[in-house]
Structure 1
Amino acid sequence: MPQMAPLLWLNLFIFFCLSLMIFFIMNYFLPPHSKTSPISKPWKMEELNWKW
């Protein structure tokens, strides 16, 4: 039925707005990833020799 098309687009628009709002809220409240610097590695390169 073509009469139902505006209701479908309205539902899709509301779903898009809600998911976008949840995405922004999660990005605002969740802390960013802690980036490790390559200088302060807990292991040494000599320990990674996998050859026998």
Structure 2
Amino acid sequence: MAPMNWMILFIMFFLTFILTSNLIYFLYLKNLNMKINKIKMTKNYNKFI
């Protein structure tokens, strides 16, 4: 029983790590896209001027 419990614990920790890393990655990508969009908007604004 002990090895099974250790395996379950390891899988749970691994899944939580994957979920947190994915969340951080997607949040970072969203922030990058927002920054890129802001830069594009400023470029368009400068073109209009």
Q: 1:12 aligns with which of 12, 15, 30?
A: 15
Q: In the alignment, does 2:10 pair up with 1:21?
A: no
| Runs of 4+ residues deviating >6 angstroms | none
What value does the CA root-mean-square deviation take over the aligned residues?
1.3
Q: Give the TM-score normalised by structure 2.
A: 0.57
Count of aligned positions: 32
Structure with more of its chain in helix, by fraction: 2
Q: Quick one: percent identity of the two aligned structures?
A: 16
- Per mean C-alpha deviation after superposition, the further-off stretch among 1-10 and 20-29 is 1-10
Q: How much has 1:2 moved relative to structure 2?
A: 3.3
The structure that has the greater radius of gyration is: 1
TM-score by length of 1: 0.54
| Gapped regions of structure 1 (runs ≥ 5) | 33-52
